[in-house]
Amino acid sequence: MRVGVKLLVIAAAVTAAGVLIGFYVSHLTKLAGSPAYSAPVQNAGSGHPVVNLEIQTVAAVGPKLSQNPDWVSYLVKDNGQWKRKTVWDLPAHATINVTIYNFDGASALRNPFYARPQGMVGNRIMVDGQPVDHIDPNDASHTFAVPALGIILAIPGVTDDAKNQCGYAPCQMSNAHRTIKFTFHTTTPGHFRWQCFVPCAAGWIDGFGGPMQTIGYMDGFLNVKAA
My answer on whether 92 and 15 are in the same domain is: no
The model's pLDDT over 5-19, given as tens digits with 9 standing for 90+, comes to: 555 555 555 554 444
The model's pLDDT over 128-173, given as tens digits with 9 standing for 90+, comes to: 999 999 999 999 999 999 999 999 999 999 999 999 999 999 999 9
Q: What pLDDT shows up at residue 213?
A: 87
What Cα–Cα distance (Å) separates residue 177 from each residue in 46, 97, 128, 173?
A: 35, 19, 9, 8
Q: How many domains does the chain have?
A: 2
Q: How far apart are CA 121 and CA 217, in angstroms?
A: 26
Q: What is the mean pLDDT of residues 51-68?
A: 94
Q: What does residue 166 show for φ and ψ, rounded to 5 degrees? A: -80, 140
Q: Which domain holds residue 2?
A: 1-31
**Total residues found in the chain within this entry:** 227
- Measure the N-to-C terminal CA separation of the chain; round to a whole number of Å: 58
My answer on whether 206 and 145 are in the same domain is: yes
Q: What pLDDT shows up at residue 120?
A: 96
My answer on whether 218 and 185 are in the same domain is: yes
Q: What is the mean pLDDT of residues 105-116?
A: 89
Helices (H), the chain: 3-30
| CA-based nearest residue to 115, from 135, 100, 139, 138 | 135
Q: What is the pTM of this model?
A: 0.84
My answer on whether 162 and 61 are in the same domain is: yes
My answer on whether 61 and 2 are in the same domain is: no
Domain CATH code at residue 210:
2.60.40.420
Q: What is the mean pLDDT of the chain?
A: 86
My answer on whether 15 and 122 are in the same domain is: no
My answer on whether 105 and 24 are in the same domain is: no
My answer on whether 139 and 207 are in the same domain is: yes
Identify the bridge partners of residue 192 per DSSP, sorted by sequence position. Answer: 222
Q: What pLDDT shows up at residue 108?
A: 86
| Residue 3 banded pLDDT, cuts 50, 70, 90 | low
Instruction: Identify whether 211 is preceded by a cis peptide bond (ω within 30 of 0).
Output: no
Lowest mean per-residue pLDDT among 49-58, 88-97, 101-110, 206-215: 206-215
Checking if the pLDDT of 208 tops 50, the result is yes
My answer on whether 42 and 2 are in the same domain is: no
My answer on whether 69 and 84 are in the same domain is: yes
My answer on whether 202 and 220 are in the same domain is: yes
| Residue 222 banded pLDDT, cuts 50, 70, 90 | very high
My answer on whether 10 and 97 are in the same domain is: no
